[in-house]
A = this chain, B = another copy of it.
């Protein structure tokens, strides 16, 4: 969350306006959900947030950077890391939450836009991978690490590979095939991973 970082001991000068900052993120999240990333216009964000375009560009280097931050602020609540004491159970719960996010919100559309834009903007690509993907992988990673501490994981299990095996099919369905993403699928995915890595 680059721009929001730290605050810390500011120098002189008028401080960043909290009202503007949160209005921008709120409006961006709302329009992202409604119009998708590709059709998101910073002109419109500025107008609806009652803010100057300059203010947006002062704090976010690109539409993508704003979209990532806006989206994360919203999505953070929806995805909590479960800790039931069972790998199988944790995976299923997390997969269910994730599937819900993908089907009930415009997450897939937003992410598709961000991925596409990332190919034209290295800084956006970095932010997307670190902030967006990294956050998700870290969360799901905890599930596997706790399983390892409990001795549930087989000795040679590679958590990185497990995370790939978890996310790849979900995103593939969400972005490519449009195949069902529902509770049973989440359960099935959890089963397969548990079988493979424990």
Contacts and interface: CB of A to CB of B under 8 A. Distances in A.
A168 B175 contact: no
B164 A38 contact: no
**A37, A113, A119, most chain B CB atoms within 10 A:** A119
A129 interface: yes
A119 B110 CA distance: 9
A169 B175 contact: no
B108 A112 contact: no
Contact of A115 (B39, B112, B164, B167): B112
A172 B177 contact: no
Which applies to chain A's interface (DSSP): helix, strand, loop or mixed? helix
B109 A119 contact: yes
A25 B83 CA distance: 54
24 contacts: A36-B119, A36-B120, A38-B116, A108-B119, A109-B116, A112-B112, A112-B115, A112-B119, A113-B116, A115-B115, A115-B116, A115-B175, A115-B176, A129-B177, A129-B178, A133-B176, A133-B177, A164-B172, A164-B173, A164-B177, A165-B169, A168-B169, A168-B172, A171-B176
